[in-house]
Structure 1
């Protein structure tokens, strides 16, 4: 099953008719077009799925048996919790101290004069439960935040056995295409929200005034504009940079909008492949940042910080950055969160940022009913 829920609408795909054949990321657009042309008139004219973080890893894209798009009733308000875990079930990879040391090493690389301007470092929280989560209930809880897109993707849709899923609640649009109109809304530069209204307002003001965060954000916006510009006859960010909020975080965000030169421009999947991974989740320059991530991180990101979305036979579709996510394998849940490291980053601040980004999923699972220092921020 594949589900996207956003702004009162749900796209739900079930079953599997045809998998996209594997290939190099640079050939994704061509492979998507060939797959959709080859299955025309045979089931939904849409592919759904995800791109992994690593550009060299295979995508998971497929044509479903059924596809349903529908309006949803108004979302509930308040909070929800699965209540499956206590703080004793939690294991961090790497530890708080180890992650801080990783940030120090990344800062040394940035200061080393090799051209690296930013690198995004992630860490994990692994949870073990006595039973498998209720997937539909977890998706419903994640959907309570009106400022996110909740998603669910079966990572082995054509196999039996123990379920393996990617689930999450992302605030970030990587790219969308509708006809010739293209849009992206990168988020880079973040701070945990305050517990009280006055503290929350102060943190929002501090983020807008932060030179370090504004520089981090500008790197991502410039990168996306530079890649889209050759494809567009019109391109800009009319609203400029502003604040974006979720239930747990403030982010700096910029809405980018453009008009493609030709209807034969890349499909939404091709645009996602072109942009991903952006400096918001990888770093800049891309190749140097990926090299640093491979050397500094000891865990596999899998589909975390990849892209989840869909593309239809017209080339239209939308792709979201796979953030605030969990990979679920039976009763084991692995959460991921990352922080962007640039000149001026403070290791302890980056630890707290990742902790805050874990909170949306931890709250849904009930872990923060018994908060621990390592996963508590604010």
Structure 2
């Protein structure tokens, strides 16, 4: 596989972070410090972030940036990396998708079996009747072994080439592990007082056949279940963003966002913050976790997930992104992602459960999303 370039390989040897979009590629290097405080205590976290930036800004020729990840459960430690240097450049393809070598995987192991997932769906539907729950997002995870060791730089190149319109990230977390992925979902972008959010909820697999895609698009736009699921997410973000904004607009109706392998119902929020000093991570945490990855009401859905899902999501369905010393930045929802640890990788996928959900269909949706991540990694599985 062709790495981004020799210099960037050296950066990754020193725990570089990267964050790619269709508009820019951001590289952060010369790691200074990592904050592992739980994000649930925002006051303490903000104070520590300010201290780290103040220390780095005072250093000669410093160009500091924070790149990191917040777990789904904000009572767990974060992984916020502060770098002395970063550079941001226009997006350029490191390699064409056709030129990439496949990522060879073996020994697939289900972390969550379909039977367990199905029982959790049944329990969720029962909870809708007995409690004031509207939606619960349930997920599965799969572990693979790697046939060959992988450089994070090469995986960043693959992720970006395979899905150039996603938000691609490779970020060191927890000792020698890397969180990597290509998320389609922008939680918040902040530049001065201007903010933007692009929540997704409700989806169908994308086909290579245009006629089938047209049919599935029509199904999504007419689906009571999917439109209801999407509206829950939109209402939640509106409720949380509106108090922070002096102006806020949202799409009148959801549009279709296409990724390499999925079709999503998509809405766009654009607004102006009342307080320019409110930083991008603060705004992102005010929205986390959204009903798109947790459920509604948030606290009840989160409690259900922690009790019934059957494994620790860690950074999956959390936040990943960057922020500069002025509080500007972008944070995305940590989906279409994996956790690389030595010679193994864990991949994740989830589905929104509402009244009327069918366990088999929801499992199939998670399987389709799992295939999305495998395709995004240009992966092939050794069945021997």
- Fold conserved (TM > 0.5)? yes
Indicate the residue corresponding to 1:102 in structure 2.
120
Tell me the CA shift for residue 75 of structure 1: 6.7
2:310 partner SS: coil
Q: Partners in 1 of 2:113 and 2:291 — Cα distance?
A: 24
Q: Partners in 2 of 1:212 and 1:29 — Cα distance?
A: 39
Indicate the residue corresponding to 1:211 in structure 2.
224
Q: Partners in 2 of 1:343 and 1:46 — Cα distance?
A: 43
Tell me the CA shift for residue 259 of structure 1: 0.5
Indicate the residue corresponding to 2:181 in structure 1.
168
**Aligned with residue 252 of structure 1, among 259, 265, 268:** 265
Q: Name structure 1 gaps, 5 residues minimum.
A: 372-378
Q: 1:327-349: per-residue Cα shift (whole Å, max 9, x none)? A: 01111110011111111111111
Residues 175, 184 of structure 1: 8 Å contact kept: yes
2:31 partner SS: coil
Residues 187, 253 of structure 1: 8 Å contact kept: yes
Q: Partners in 1 of 2:151 and 2:133 — Cα distance?
A: 43
Pair 1:300 & 2:312 matched: yes
**Aligned with residue 134 of structure 2, among 103, 117, 125:** 117
Q: How many residues align?
A: 362
Indicate the residue corresponding to 2:3 in structure 1.
none
Pair 1:14 & 2:35 matched: no
Tell me the CA shift for residue 77 of structure 1: 5.1
Q: Name structure 2 gaps, 5 residues minimum.
A: 1-15
Q: Partners in 2 of 1:17 and 1:298 — Cα distance?
A: 36
Tell me the CA shift for residue 53 of structure 1: 0.7
Q: What is the TM-score when the length of structure 2 is the normalising length?
A: 0.89
Q: Partners in 2 of 1:280 and 1:68 — Cα distance?
A: 32
Q: Partners in 1 of 2:216 and 2:169 — Cα distance?
A: 28
Indicate the residue corresponding to 2:6 in structure 1.
none
Residues 64, 85 of structure 2: 8 Å contact kept: no
Q: 1:78 to 1:200 in 2, by over 3 A?
A: farther
Tell me the CA shift for residue 298 of structure 1: 1.4
Q: Partners in 1 of 2:41 and 2:22 — Cα distance?
A: 30
Tell me the CA shift for residue 48 of structure 1: 1.4
2:105 partner SS: coil
Indicate the residue corresponding to 1:93 in structure 2.
111
Pair 1:129 & 2:149 matched: no
Q: 1:344 to 1:30 in 2, by over 3 A?
A: farther
Q: Partners in 2 of 1:137 and 1:46 — Cα distance?
A: 22
Q: Partners in 2 of 1:74 and 1:172 — Cα distance?
A: 21
2:202 partner SS: strand
Q: What is the TM-score when the length of structure 1 is the normalising length?
A: 0.90
Q: 1:170-224: per-residue Cα shift (whole Å, max 9, x none)? A: 0000111111111111001111112422112111111111111111111111111
Q: 1:74 to 1:18 in 2, by over 3 A?
A: closer
Tell me the CA shift for residue 21 of structure 1: 6.4
